[in-house]
Chains A and B, each alone.
Chain A
């Protein structure tokens, strides 16, 4: 027998009441945990993913959309930009380097991104197995893609157009070959299939006609489809016929762009820009937005805007969670207060058996702490379970950097906070227990 067991035994005598209090507290804690985990992990993943990227340049449209599509690969692109214009911009003296991106296809929902080797350097990702893509239609898989899709080196697959895994518009005639697997990075790159710009172009050159008729699932913007379409028509007119792939050797050159922008080509989706000097942050966006047909988007600015947009909802949820926690505190207090009234005699008997007033004080405090500890642990568990369910239910929240298994330092504060709640709820009853006048209680018959 010890104080912990004793306090525990009183908790067990009122299982329903205890359960209610634990669940109430757990609910509040769970909401707080989910908010903490998501905001912490999403924020971390946002800054991690946009590290080293000063500006993203895409087709005219929503800058937030450009950031989401070109850095985090969650939204649809705003459209394409002409390569010539991108090249001209990249020669600007304020710009240190640019990395081109070309989007448009997916495999089982994993985005296929045409780019160059500098994109790998940007995220400091190593090739863990095989090699980088060396020819058109060769791809390297992000770590998560390799793990989840079951593809390995030497496997081939056909991509489907768009960004949703709908099985429609499969580009059957072009088979991608897996030549490399990338090491895990905890970045968005884990969920991407990387290839050369030339691969993306080749695939789209040959499917332009079917694509324009049946593709109703690519949602973003008519202008994207429109540009796509018109560009392909242009290509068709000037360059080749569809069914004679191998007659045009130049078209199917084995060369790929390893660095910088390709010498020839038509369109890319966006350009990741690194500044040469801080001055560029002031001048470049205005220049791009006013003087070109492109749109500049600043990652820190847009993510801040995103957070301020969802911040209202987060604040409300947080307020709600705190209200629940306060109600739980009150409920635990009332339960202890009432039960102590009925337990005056027990406390007096304990004093008559040699218990000191501080011991009774601790006994009651411990009871409050046990309940809140249970509520807090259940809440933390529930919070992680919700994140786990979210990562299982929704399409690839891994892209947002969410993971249920990761614990953060703030959760320790949640634990400490809920123990304070227990302390507060039990304080007045504990003082009452401390002050129990045993003689008076025992004299009551």
Chain B
């Protein structure tokens, strides 16, 4: 499902290149990408999400080499096939919870369906907060809402960037469980990028990036 081949990246022409090991994650697998700060794991996540372009190499998601996609097609691919979860929920504060999810459908260019939204919210016990302003959500609720937004469009791959780093143990395991549950429900491949070693104990499929 996720395949890296001879991928390298550099921020500027003069900076040192990141050379990533070849790696693949099978469809439906839950994987964790570990590495300390500066090892290039966020860079790799952004490469996988198509937010950065590699200097060379292939990045294959599903059966699509995303390095071959043009800007517009890449944006569309990202909206439809990828679900991104960040350390902070980053919901749009000017909208309600439901509107945030409608926006995710709108921007991905798929049909806006309140039923789908209701079901997704229900699976994360957020149904009662559907019309709430996102500023009124608790931290836990906001985190679950961000996960709801990531899985809403039935993505091929869920990419989670440090989703647990700022959480205590209890919440860390709860969020991991939610992510894995949702990934299973939506038959998505899950990749968590983190330096949080608690995650390691839960997910066995691992790649550790060494510091360059």
Contacts and interface: CB of A to CB of B under 8 A. Distances in A.
Contact of B87 (A1, A350, A357, A445): A445
Interface stretch (B12-20, B26-34, B75-83, B172-180): B75-83
Interface residues of B, number: 33
A355 B107 contact: yes
B99 A353 contact: no
Interface stretch (B88-96, B121-129, B182-190, B197-205): B88-96
A148 interface: no
Given A439-B52, A445-B87, A354 B42 contact: no
> Which DSSP category, helix, strand, loop or mixed, fits chain A's interface?
helix
Contacts of A354: 75-76, 78-80, 107-109
Interface stretch (A7-15, A249-257, A267-275, A378-386): A7-15
B105 A438 contact: no
A439 B106 contact: no
Contacts of A356: 71-72, 75-76
Interface string B112-142: 1000000000000000000000000000000
B145 interface: no
B107 A9 contact: no
Contact of A9 (B72, B78, B99): B99
Given A6-B103, A354-B107, A13 B94 contact: yes
Contacts of B102: 1
Contact of B84 (A2, A5, A12, A352): A352
Given A1-B103, A1-B112, A352 B94 contact: no
A304 interface: no
A442 B161 CA distance: 10
Contacts of A359: 107
A219 B71 CA distance: 79
A359 to B, nearest CB: 8
A443 interface: yes
Interface string B57-76: 00000000000000110011
Most chain A CB atoms below 10 A, which of B72, B80, B94: B94
Nearest to B146: A349
A345 B90 contact: yes
B46 interface: yes
Interface in A403-445: 438-439, 442-443, 445
A346 interface: yes
A351 interface: yes
B104 interface: yes
Most chain B CB atoms below 10 A, which of A9, A349, A355, A438: A349
Nearest to B47: A439
Contact of A352 (B51, B80, B99): B51
A350 B86 contact: no
Contacts of A5: 99
B49 interface: yes
A2 to B, nearest CB: 6
Contacts of B84: 352-353
Contacts of B112: 1
A445 B90 CA distance: 11
Contact of B92 (A12, A349, A357, A439): A349
Contacts of A439: 46, 51-52
Interface in A320-355: 345-346, 349-355
A355 B94 contact: no
Contacts of B75: 351, 354-356
Contacts of A12: 94
Contacts of A349: 90, 92
Contact of A2 (B71, B92, B106): B106
A9 B51 contact: no
Contacts of A357: 71
A443 B103 contact: no
15 contacts: A1-B106, A5-B99, A9-B94, A10-B94, A12-B94, A346-B90, A346-B93, A349-B92, A354-B78, A356-B75, A438-B51, A439-B51, A442-B86, A442-B161, A445-B88
Interface of A: 1-2, 5-6, 9-10, 12-13, 345-346, 349-357, 359, 438-439, 442-443, 445
Given A1-B99, A5-B99, A356-B72, 18 more contacts: A1-B102, A1-B103, A1-B105, A2-B106, A9-B94, A9-B99, A10-B94, A12-B94, A349-B90, A351-B51, A353-B78, A353-B103, A354-B76, A354-B79, A354-B80, A355-B107, A359-B107, A442-B51
